């Protein structure tokens, strides 16, 4: 069964798939063990694709997530963008195409013959600016057509590698929601076998990073794709895990009451604070304990289930759980055990 078929099915088990966690920050820790850093700040972890040694480290990182129990691997292509990246021309367009291809190939190599899925990661416009704009939505000097053109070529190149799915991630504003939908509606008929999801980035329990409400974003997605033809799942990613329960209550209620049913993808960050001046994570901030992270995520699953049952008689939507920045393989392994126990209890009750 394909990832898309699983997403849209109301009956096929399992009801939850586990994705990887903080892919880039895990690779960062692997490099730190070698006293190394990412070669280009603007490309961050994607700069590892530039060298054979870097690609070997990426492959090891993918295997770490599989060992932790992940069902879905995301590619190291979030920070691969055509043209100028963060005011720094790192590679040519032809080289960037090769990096995108390698990103998907490495994840595919890691899963080998396992019944796992590869989801190509595509970052937002703010990520290309390399100035933190994905956390503000404060995009400068770009209009709707510019956003469409920014996303189209990268998404098309990724889809040509035939990943199981495509995730357009950390979308901080309504304007980019609209642009991404226009690109997906254009490309979906050509790449109809792939699953698509859009992940929104939020500053608190109800607002996107730019300040519009999550409900506003959900309305845009519903109006652009009323039948879930090309937005098969809606995600929340790279927001503080402390806000997840509130966001999921809003998201779940909206899908349950307004339709159509779509899968829900949830992968928050640890909530740790980043010291940009020192380029270090501030110790003592956020949720770094594996058991506490899992407790938050299992509570989030409970919020989805309870909210859905209050609002709809239809089957619970499919769930994709994972983590973002600073979520370790150990946290994902702990979450894997809890999800398996949850699935077992559900089977016993039916």
- Residue 200 sits in a domain whose CATH number is 3.20.20.330
| 51-76: b (≥16 Cβ within 10 Å) or e | eeebbebbbebbbbbbebbbbbbbbb
Does 262 map to a domain? yes
**39 band by pLDDT with thresholds 50, 70 and 90:** confident
pLDDT in tens, 139-167: 878 999 999 999 999 999 999 999 999 99
Closest-CA residue to 165 (of 45, 59, 6, 335) = 6
pLDDT in tens, 320-330: 999 998 799 99
* Half-sphere exposure of residue 347: CA atoms within 13 angstroms, side-chain side: 11
Does 7 map to a domain? no
Does 9 map to a domain? no
Does 2 map to a domain? no
Query: For the residues 75-102, what does the mean pLDDT come to?
Result: 86
Q: Residue 91: is its pLDDT beyond 60?
A: yes
Does 11 map to a domain? no
Does 88 map to a domain? yes
Does 345 map to a domain? yes
Does 219 map to a domain? yes
Query: For the residues 33-37, what does the mean pLDDT come to?
Result: 88
Q: Residue 191: is its pLDDT beyond 80?
A: yes
pLDDT in tens, 212-264: 999 999 999 999 999 999 999 999 999 999 999 999 999 999 999 999 999 99
**Residues of the domain holding 88:** 17-349
CB 195 within 8 A of CB 2: yes
Tokens 């997840």 locate to 244
What mean pLDDT value characterizes the chain?
91
Q: Report pLDDT for 281.
A: 56
Please state the domain count of the chain. Answer: 1
Q: Report pLDDT for 344.
A: 85
Closest-CA residue to 317 (of 267, 274, 259) = 259
């Amino acid at each position: 069964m394909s990832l898309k078929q699983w997403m849209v099915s109301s009956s096929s088990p399992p009801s939850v798939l586990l994705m990887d966690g903080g892919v880039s920050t895990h690779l960062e820790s692997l490099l730190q063990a070698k006293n190394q850093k990412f070669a280009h700040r603007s490309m961050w972890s994607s700069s590892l694709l530039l060298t054979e040694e870097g690609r070997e480290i990426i492959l090891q990182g993918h295997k770490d997530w599989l060992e932790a129990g992940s069902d879905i691997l995301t590619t190291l292509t979030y920070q691969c963008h055509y043209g100028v990246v963060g005011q720094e021309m790192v590679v040519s367009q032809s080289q960037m195409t090769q990096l995108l291809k390698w990103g998907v190939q490495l994840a595919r190599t890691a899963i080998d013959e396992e019944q796992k899925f590869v989801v190509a990661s595509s970052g937002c416009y703010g990520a290309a600016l390399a100035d933190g704009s994905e956390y503000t939505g404060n995009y400068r000097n770009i209009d709707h057509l510019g956003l469409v053109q920014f996303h189209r070529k990268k998404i098309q190149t990724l889809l040509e590698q035939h990943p199981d799915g495509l995730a357009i991630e950390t979308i901080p504003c309504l304007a980019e929601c609209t642009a991404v939908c226009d690109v997906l509606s254009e490309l979906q008929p050509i790449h109809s076998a792939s699953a698509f999801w859009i992940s929104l980035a939020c500053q608190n329990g109800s607002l996107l990073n730019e300040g519009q409400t999550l409900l506003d974003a959900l309305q845009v997605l519903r109006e652009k794709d009323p039948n879930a033809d090309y937005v098969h799942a809606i995600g929340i990613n790279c927001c503080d895990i402390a806000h997840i329960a509130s966001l999921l209550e809003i998201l779940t209620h909206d899908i349950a009451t307004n339709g159509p049913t779509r899968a829900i993808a949830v992968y928050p960050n640890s909530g740790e604070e980043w010291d940009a001046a020192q380029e270090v994570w501030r110790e003592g901030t956020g949720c770094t304990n594996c058991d506490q992270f899992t407790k938050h995520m299992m509570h989030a699953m409970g919020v989805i289930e309870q909210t859905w049952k209050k609002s709809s008689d239809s089957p619970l939507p499919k769930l994709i759980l994972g983590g973002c920045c600073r979520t370790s393989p150990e946290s994902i392994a702990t979450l894997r055990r809890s999800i398996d126990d949850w699935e077992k209890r559900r089977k016993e009750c039916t």
